[in-house]
Amino acid sequence: MSEPLPAGIRAPAPRPRDAVTLSALSLAFLKIAMASLGGGLSAWALRVIVEERRWLTEEEFLAAYTICRILPGPNQVNMAVYVGTHFRGLAGAAAALAGLTLVPLAIVLGLGVLYFGHRKTPGLQATMAGLVAAAAGMTLSVGVKLSLGYVRQPVALLLALAAFAGVAVMRWPLLLVLGVLGPVAIAWYWPRERDERAAGRAA
């Protein structure tokens, strides 16, 4: 397992689509599911997809992660569908979903029987509390890693703070916050990204 990249160091360029096979998609999401025992799926998805497999850049992962959080359904199921479809279409989505869900489902069913049969055991309660704490730490690490790339972008930071204030502090509906901040972000970044791409092609 590769070590996380230091702060401020971006992952290398992503691999071409034809290098990502159906079995690779299935195994990658199986690893994400199995490594995130107790939670922290998003953190492991970042580590496996960006840092280890180099299938997406940090920016692409952030965009996908944002879309997956906005859409209905579990975030990581959405991420599996997104990544699988991106590389291998519907077959890729099915392969990624199978890796994410089939083996963990069997394990969860077995653990569920064990837990409800021995849920009053003190050792089991302590273990579950530890897993929850570890999951919270892994989830926090995703936010920290993804935010490091935007520290030098005041507009992105301002938009993030505005979204946090609207949803977490003011308790406004998520759709309202997105409806206001989304067009602002698009109006600000779209022309700049287009100009950067044009400059890159000219070079």
pLDDT by residue (tens digit) across 100-151?
999 888 877 776 776 666 666 666 666 666 666 666 666 666 666 666 666 6
Please write the tens of the pLDDT for every residue from 157-171.
Answer: 788 889 889 988 999
- At 70, the amino acid letter reads I
- The listed range with the strongest mean pLDDT (10-14, 53-57, 118-122) is 53-57
Contacts of 48 (CB under 8 A, 6+ apart): 28, 31, 32, 35
Percent of the chain scoring above 90 in pLDDT: 26
Quick one: 95 exposed, middle or buried, by C-beta within 10 A (0-12, 13-18, 19+)? Answer: buried
Alpha carbon distance 3, 47 (integer Å): 9
Alpha carbon distance 166, 182 (integer Å): 13
What are the helix (H) ranges across the chain?
22-35, 41-46, 58-70, 75-118, 122-148, 154-164, 174-202
Q: DSSP for 141-193, please give it.
A: HHHHHHHHTTTT-HHHHHHHHHHHIIIIIS---HHHHHHHHHHHHHHHHHHHH
Q: Which residue has the higher pLDDT, 182 or 8?
A: 182
Alpha carbon distance 84, 138 (integer Å): 23
Strand, helix or coil for residue 120: coil
For tokens 């996380």, name the residue. 4
